[in-house]
A and B are shown apart, each in its own frame.
Chain A
Amino acid sequence: MTVPETASRPHRGTIFQENGRILDHHDAGADQWILRVHAPECARAAQPGQFAHLQCAPRLLMRRPLSIQRVDREAGWVEFLYKVVGDGTLALSQQAQGDTLSVLGPIGQPFRLHPERPKRLLLGGGVGIPPMIFLAHHLHLRGEAGQTHAVLGSEVPFPFHPRPSEILWPGLPHGAIATLPLLEDWGVACRLTSKAGIPGAHDGFVTDLARAWLKTLAPAERDQVELFACGPHPMLAACAELAAEFDLPCQVSLEEFMACAVGGCAGCTVPVRTPEGVAMKRVCVDGPVFAAADVFPEPERA
């Protein structure tokens, strides 16, 4: 019955708890905040799609899961973008630069990159934007930015200053010209969407631009596309529908209220289709990334 402590247990010691100093924490408008924390172990190990479980204030019993937006492995920091939506994120927004924060991470299954589908379409909505930024940066570092496209949507002002893109992206509706400067600098074609009348952003949903682009592709090109999505539930359902429409694989990153975040409490489960039927899977360690077709089965899409 005895098994060596790590040999047959690769999951052991993969999540780090670090008391990190807040290096930067600023209000990005519309209750959105950008937080950068020194957490070198988490920064070293994190992959796009993973998240960290943050102690927002010592007085709060439950941590809050936040998607990782960027890491700098050399400088040892992890960056998050979050919106104040409740007690936890409100308390977090009151933490100042120089304060210490307990970071538990990185956690979860990251996005999987398939070499046979090098054209990657990243779809982020609202606080679902951060994992797309992390993924775009990762692809940039791999030298694959030229094959990467991103559509980011928000119903409030974006937490960064959009600017007109100089990267051509044929086939999109007229007027969709604004981009996220960070992605532009990494060489990733990116466009923005909003129903809130943001100049340069397409007046519609992320799936509108995605559909417009996919329609322009020849079948052989389209077969090389994979979708990656994170955002509100209706947006993810629309992304799943879009992927099904074009018969493309789509990975979605989910969120749910979470207690332990290490797989112990089964508090964050969602129904997921498996070969054996529907199973309740933990968003924390079985996810947060799932195949869209498994979490948005046909009846819900219809």
Chain B
Amino acid sequence: MSDSRTDPRLALEFCGLHLNTPLVLLSGCVGFGEEYTRVAGFSNRDAGAICLKGTTGQARLGNAPHRVYETPDGMLNAIGLQNPGVDHVVDHTLPQLDFEETRFFANVSGSTIEEYIEVTRRFDDSPIDAIEINISCPNVKEGGVAFGNDPDMSARVVEACRKVTSKPLITKLSPNQTDIAENARRCIEAGTDAFAVINTLMGMAVDVENRRAVIGNNQGGLSGPAIKPIALLKVQQVYQVAAPHNVPIIGQGGVMNATDALEFLIAGASTVGVGTGLFYDPLCLPKILHGISDYMDRHGYTHVRDLTGTLQLNGAVSACAPPAPQDPAT
């Protein structure tokens, strides 16, 4: 396995698309697809797909600084959907991308269902390979609650987007809700083809000297290894709902190395998202791929897809059973 990029066991089909590898570069971490190629040794070919930055109907300037801040084993970000608007992305950005190197997914964001429809429709008429819906945006017409925090609103967004595109639709689920499995169920009914699990968890950092929120937007999304255990559980929960419908999952949240990636595959993911991990090590992709190949060698797997959902749960009953009553005679 001198070159994991060419390890045929790692190539897979995802929503009918051929991916070179099971790694997906996450929206918001890799700009509009070319930024990381600045780093010598980085290749878009190591990614099965690259999810472009969140795109809205009109250009947005995004939030005031500071937008990022380190927290224990993680980081907060509140970028605020800075993007040049969907027309610019379709007309000027996509023609610059090399679709021979990898697959490119759009990330659709909006403040209203109408905006999601508008952006999705525009991407439908473009070379983009698939469309990820970021349902974690605030719904400005209904009090600013994130669409994705509510199964009903989530399903309405997915249903609306489904009507205007035949491209694969990936719904990015939020962990900031009570029952992610129920949300997933509703999104499947509404026509999603895949899930990305999970988006960031909302958090905050405080500058005690100045008694101010550090992040310009006050709150931000927490990512990195700190959220991995949560992400793994959510993937496992969504997998229970999605697997019977053959709806695949991009498992994501704090993936730094091959072991992390394997955990997500085993928990039920078909592909694994890498985002914050690139900030730590921009050249982590080939290392993760090598690590997955090595694992497959050691465990006799002939294809990466065979790892998906191989998690063995422990017998919960015995673990929670009360201790046996003691013999009063002893």
Residues of A that sit less than 8 Å from B by CB = 1-3, 5, 9, 11-17, 41, 55, 60-63, 87-88, 102, 104, 256-271, 278-280, 285
Hey, which bits of chain B sit against chain A, CB under 8 A? 28-31, 34-41, 53, 61-62, 65-70, 73-75, 77, 79, 82, 95-101, 127, 224-225, 276, 278-283
* Distance of B288 from chain A, by nearest CB (Å): 15
A260 touches B278 (CB 8 A): yes
The reply to whether B75 and A13 form a contact with Cβ atoms under 8 Å apart is no
Give 10 closest A-B pairs by Cβ, nearest first: A267-B68, A263-B35, A264-B35, A13-B40, A62-B70, A264-B31, A259-B68, A264-B30, A12-B37, A267-B67
**Are B79 and A267 in contact (CB-based, < 8 A)?**
yes
Q: How far is the CA of A268 from the CA of B66 in the complex (A)?
A: 7
Q: In whole angstroms, what is the CA distance A5 to B101 when docked?
A: 9
Q: Across the interface, which residues of B come within 8 angstroms of A11, CB to CB?
A: 34, 37-38
B-side interface mostly: loop
Task: Please judge, given known A-B contacts A15-B38, A17-B283, whether A278 and B68 are in contact too, CB under 8 Å.
Answer: no
Q: Which of B28, B38, B74, B99 contacts A265 (CB 8 A)?
A: B28
**Would A2 and B62 be within 8 Å (CB), given that A61-B74, A63-B280, A264-B30 are in contact?**
no
Q: Using A17-B40, A62-B75, A264-B29 as known contacts, say yes or no to A256 and B282 having CB atoms under 8 A apart.
A: no
| Complex Cα gap A31–B284 (Å) | 33
A265 to B98, Cβ gap below 8 A?
Answer: no
Contact of A262 among B35, B41, B225 (CB under 8 A): B35
Q: Is the CB of B53 within 8 A of A266?
A: yes
Residue of A1, A11, A270, A271 with most partner-chain B CB within 10 A: A1
Contact call B39/A104, Cβ cutoff below 8 A: yes
> Is there an interface contact between A265 and B283, defined as CB atoms closer than 8 Å?
no
Cross-chain contact A2 with B100 (CB below 8 angstroms): yes
User: Chain A residue with minimal CB distance to B44?
Assistant: A5
Say whether, besides A1-B127, A9-B37, A285-B38, A257 and B279 are in contact (CB < 8 Å): no
Contacting pair B65 A61 (CB below 8 A): no
Contacting pair B278 A61 (CB below 8 A): no
Contacts of A256 in B (CB 8 A): 65-66
17 cross-chain CB contacts under 8 A: A1-B98, A1-B99, A5-B98, A13-B38, A15-B38, A17-B41, A17-B282, A41-B40, A61-B73, A61-B74, A104-B282, A259-B68, A263-B31, A263-B35, A265-B77, A279-B61, A280-B62
A59: nearest residue on chain B (CB-CB)? B73
Chain A residues with Cβ under 8 A from B40's Cβ? 13-17, 41
Pick from A12, A88, A259, A270: contact of B77, CB under 8 Å: A259
- Are the C-beta atoms of A280 and B61 separated by less than 8 Å? yes
Contacts of A14 in B (CB 8 A): 38, 40
Cα A257 to Cα B279 in complex, Å, equals 13
Point out the residues of chain B lying under 8 angstroms from A269, CB to CB: 62, 65, 67, 82
Question: Chain B contacts of A3 at CB under 8 A?
Answer: 96, 98
Nearest opposing residue in chain A for B67, CB measure: A267
Minimum CB distance partner of A62 in chain B: B70
Q: Which of A3, A14, A258 has most B Cβ within 10 Å?
A: A3
